[in-house]
Amino acid sequence: MNNNNFSKITFTINNRRMVKTISSSMLLIDLIRDEIGLKGTKPGCLEGECGACTVLIDGNPVNSCLYLAVNIDGKEVTTVEGLSQGDSLDPVQQALINHGGIQCGFCTPGMVMIIKSFQRECDEKAVKPDREQIKKAIEGNLCRCTGYTKIIEAVESLFP
């Protein structure tokens, strides 16, 4: 194999610094799931349409099924596994549980990550979002089980 087809990257994932040599064409979802072994990020459509694979890169949501892993060099990646602190769930995770905003759980990791990013944005701007803003924030994440009402109620509960 030609060494030009591989890249050495250094990054942080869930507060853990890593150095990996990977194929230059490897997708981030494959690095996360297959190389690092974090299975919370779900491969849904593999076309960037469903949002199940959403992770945060430097705090911003990204569809990991479309994102080349070499692009995380020098960056911080957060997956759903990186949100909880020991036995304590992140407030977003707890709100979804409390409001019945999860069913099969397949979309949940991506939904949690997009909501976490949205929560951070709202907190930084010191704004309480309305229902339409919440719908807009989660529109790229598809859920086939809940009908969104309980997810939206969970998000609303994050902003008393």
> Which range, of 9-13, 27-31, 95-99, 102-106, averages the lowest pLDDT?
102-106
Of 85, 120, 98, 147, nearest to 137 by C-alpha is: 120
Query: Where is the domain boundary, 60, 82, 104?
Result: 82
pTM above 0.75, yes or no: yes
pLDDT digits (tens, 9 = 90+) for 58-96: 999 999 999 999 999 999 999 999 999 888 999 999 999
At 3, is the pLDDT very low, low, confident or very high (cuts 50, 70, 90)? low
The mean pLDDT value for 132-148 works out to 92
Q: What is the reported pLDDT for 73?
A: 98
- Give the chain as a DSSP string: --GGGEEEEEEEETTEEEEEEEETT-BHHHIIIIIS----S---SSSSSS-TTEEEETTEEEETTTSBGGGGTT-EEE-GGGT-BTTBPPHHHHHHHHTT--SS-SSHHHHHHHHHHHHHHHHHHT----HHHHHHHHTTS--SSS-SHHHHHHHHHT--
Contacts made by residues 89-94, CB under 8 angstroms, sequence distance 24+: 90/116, 91/119, 91/158, 92/116, 92/119, 92/154, 92/158
* Domains of the chain: total: 2
In a shared domain, residues 78 and 100: no
What's the CATH code of the domain at 149? Answer: 1.10.150.120
In a shared domain, residues 7 and 61: yes
* Single-letter amino acid code for the residue at 113: M
What's the CATH code of the domain at 57? Answer: 3.10.20.30
* Owning domain of residue 118: 91-157
In a shared domain, residues 19 and 69: yes
In a shared domain, residues 7 and 53: yes
Q: What percentage of the chain exceeds 90 in pLDDT?
A: 89
Q: What is the reported pLDDT for 146?
A: 77
Beta 54-57 vs 76-78: how paired, if at all? antiparallel
**Polymer length in residues for the chain:** 160
The mean pLDDT value for 44-50 works out to 92
In a shared domain, residues 15 and 74: yes
Query: Where is the domain boundary, 65, 82, 99?
Result: 82
In a shared domain, residues 123 and 74: no
In a shared domain, residues 116 and 70: no
In a shared domain, residues 61 and 116: no
The mean pLDDT value for 23-32 works out to 98
At 1, is the pLDDT very low, low, confident or very high (cuts 50, 70, 90)? very low
Query: Residue 2 above 80 pLDDT?
Result: no
Point out which residues pair with 51 in neighbouring strands: none
d(CA 100, CA 131): 17
How many Cα neighbours within 13 Å face the side chain of 143? 25
